[in-house]
Amino acid sequence: MASTTFYRILQFLLLGTFILGCFVTLFLMYGKPFISWLSGPVKSTVSTDRVKNLFSTKSDKNVTTVLIWLWPFGKTYDPSLCSSLFNIDGCFITADRKHYIKSDGVVIHHRDISPDLSNLPPFKQPSFQKWIWMNFESPSHLSQLPGIENLFNLTLNYRQDADIEVPYGSIVAAEGEEDFVPPSKNKLICWIIHAYGQAFGKYTSDQDYFPTIANDITEKLYNPLSVGTVPVVLGPSRKNYENFISRDSFIHVDDFSSPKELADYLLLLDKNEEMYLRYFEWRQHFKVKKAYFWAEHTCLACDYLRRVIQVSQAI
């Protein structure tokens, strides 16, 4: 009798366990979980950054990063024009300093450096990184900053001996023969003083005028050339000017023995159209290309760094 009772109890326990197991299984399959550990996300033991790097490492190696540490004269510009305007690909130009540690180059404008150098990068320079000194002022207009002599790896300016040369302008071949007609003028001479200091609390702006008398080879030479005037130049020698522009595109004061002789020649040109038009014959085959401040400068810096990196990787 006891044996029969024991087997009935065992049978009841087994049946109850089976029913309970089925209930739990159905609940887990179709029921809405309400316990936090069931509804919470499963955390991977693999870092998401590591997963991202598996896909981004190759592309990062093909992109050259250039950091604009100081906006030139505080003026911002669109840094994403390298491909569209200058046909330079693979560049990431940014002013976001969080990219400093991975930047291939850091462009620093001389005129914006504090006299005590306090606004230069305070971080350690990575071994692969190049600091680029950018300046477009002549030495006579440049402040001396003791302590920067050994800080920079590359130079970026208008000089022909710069690592990255960016002239104020250049004469390039035209795509085809052009029939250039000088614009009509109602003035014989336009003499603009680029900088006269302070007068009655007002300053003049060199962006408001196109000077026709220049004493250096900057935008003050290429601007009048581009709009169809004949620059009357001084300062550098004629030979120096001819290294950059056609010898028949300008008038040099050194070609005359006195200011009166120069004035008489200009009056003669005003009356003799054939002589005057000779100064524009070069426009049939050439045109003026002006520098695109400042986007072109940082894009060319990136292009230089890309070529340096490619050479170093090939060695």
Q: How many domains does the chain fold into?
A: 2
193 in the same domain as 134: no
142 in the same domain as 67: yes
> Would you state the pLDDT for residue 190?
63
* Residue 23 in domain: no
Query: CA 161 to CA 108: how far, in whole Å?
Result: 19
* Residue 236 in domain: yes
For the chain, the residue count is 315
159 in the same domain as 135: yes
300 in the same domain as 160: yes
Name the nearest CA neighbour of 158 among 236, 212, 83, 271: 236
Q: How far is CA 197 from the centre of its chain?
A: 30
Encode the chain (315 residues) as per-residue pLDDT tens digits: 545 565 566 565 555 555 555 554 544 444 444 333 223 333 333 343 333 332 333 346 689 999 999 999 999 999 999 999 999 999 999 999 999 999 999 999 999 999 999 999 999 999 999 999 999 988 888 888 999 989 999 999 999 999 999 999 999 999 877 777 777 766 666 655 555 444 433 433 333 223 355 566 888 889 888 888 888 888 889 999 999 999 999 999 999 999 999 999 999 998 999 999 999 999 999 999 999 999 999 999 999 999 988 877 776
* Residue 269 in domain: yes
* Residue 20 in domain: no
DSSP 250: -
196 in the same domain as 98: no
0.85 surpassed by pTM: no
* Residue 232 in domain: yes
List of residues 6+ apart from 303 with CB closer than 8 A = 82, 86, 88, 91
Strands 169-173 and 286-290: antiparallel
124 in the same domain as 186: no
282 in the same domain as 295: no
Do residues 88 and 303 touch, judged by C-beta distance below 8 A?
yes
* Residue 12 in domain: no
Q: How far is CA 107 from CA 65, 147, 299, in A?
A: 11, 17, 11
186 in the same domain as 162: no
> Would you state the pLDDT for residue 199?
43
Residue 175 is a catalytic residue: no
3-class DSSP state of 200: coil
161 in the same domain as 301: yes
Q: How far is CA 27 from CA 16, 18, 19, in A?
A: 16, 14, 12
214 in the same domain as 132: no
174 in the same domain as 286: yes
What is the token pair recorded at 15?
A: 């049946």
* Residue 39 in domain: no
List of residues 6+ apart from 196 with CB closer than 8 A = 204
Q: Provide DSSP, 221-246.
A: HHHHHHHT---EE-SS-HHHHHTTS-
Domain that holds residue 112: 60-166+291-314
Q: Provide DSSP, 74-127.
A: G----S--HHHHH---SEEEE--GGGGGG-SEEEEEGGGS-TT-TTS--SPPPT
* Residue 233 in domain: yes
What is the token pair recorded at 23?
A: 């209930």
156 in the same domain as 174: no
Active-site residue among 137, 261, 273, 281? 137
> Would you state the pLDDT for residue 99?
97
What is the token pair recorded at 55?
A: 């896909």
